[in-house]
Amino acid sequence: MKKLILAATLAATFSLSAIAADGKKVNDDVKGISYFVLNKFNADFLDAQNVVWTVTPTSLKADFTIDDVKKTAFYSLEGNFLGVTQEINYKLLPAAAKKEIADSYKDYAVGQVIKFEANNPQPAFFVNLAITEPQTVDYFVDLKKADAEVLVRVTEQGAVSFFKQVK
């Protein structure tokens, strides 16, 4: 049993060293990132470059570039893929959402817009039937004025809702 554990540990160490030696997949400091998460990330984001991992109290975060687009992937501490974000142009939001933001937040200037594609794991029953549901996409729009800053959530269908008071 001890030999089996030792062999598994050595295999993991050599595999992790090979990934880190690649230079484009993982930053030098991957402390706190499990081998399972690193492998899952490398499979999900095959062409990822300039990967920088961050461990937070609630999640594992990988900032990276793929096809010249900066993205951030999030994993739970248990290793489950939660979703991916990227900054987008405000013009790409649904027209209904832009109209509602213009009407409801007249005095606010649009700041950063983040697209969040959440991972929706399917119940085993649906996976076995090969029925898949696309990932849920939401947009978060930062709106600022002199004395306030808010974050609103926009659905793919264009519905706008208050999400968080920032300032």
**pLDDT single digits (tens) 78-137:** 889 999 999 999 999 999 999 999 999 999 999 999 999 998 754 444 444 444 445 689
38-43: long-range pairs with CB below 8 Å, 24+: 40/75, 40/79, 40/81, 41/73, 41/75
Q: DSSP code of 135?
A: P
Segment (H or E) for 55: strand 49-55
**Which residue reads 């990932």 in tokens?**
135
Contact 45, 77 (CB under 8 A): no
What proportion of the chain, given as a percentage, has pLDDT over 90? 61
pTM, two decimal places: 0.72
Strand-pairing partners, residue 118, are 83, 136
Residue, of 32 and 29, whose pLDDT is higher = 32
